[in-house]
Amino acid sequence: MSLFFTFLLLFSSLFPSLDALTYRYYDHTCPNLESIVAREVHLATVNDKTVPAALLRMHFHDCFIRGCDGSVLLDSKGKNKAEKDGPPNISLHAFYVIDKAKKAIESACPGVVSCADILALAARDAVVVSGGPHWEVPKGRKDGRISKANETIQLPFPTFNFSQLQQSFSQRGLSIQDLVALSGGHTLGFAHCSSFQNRIHKFNSTVDIDPLLQPSFAASLRSICPAHNKVKNAGSAMDSSTTVFDNAYFKLLLQGRSIFSSDQSLLSTPYSKALVSKFANEQRHFEKAFVKSMVKMSRIAGAGEEVRLNCRVVR
Yes or no: say if 55 and 142 are a contact pair by the CB < 8 Å rule: no
What is the CA angle 290-295-298, rounded to 5? 120
Closest C-alpha among 104, 128, 95, 130 to residue 33: 104
Yes or no: say if 235 and 191 are a contact pair by the CB < 8 Å rule: yes
Yes or no: say if 193 and 225 are a contact pair by the CB < 8 Å rule: yes
Partners of 38 in beta bridges: none
Measured distance CA(281)–CA(283) in Å, rounded: 7
Residue of 28, 42, 59, 61 marked active site: 61
Count of all residues that appear for the chain in the document: 315
* Annotated catalytic residue 61: yes
Question: How many CA within 13 A on the CB side of residue 286?
Answer: 24
Active-site positions read 61
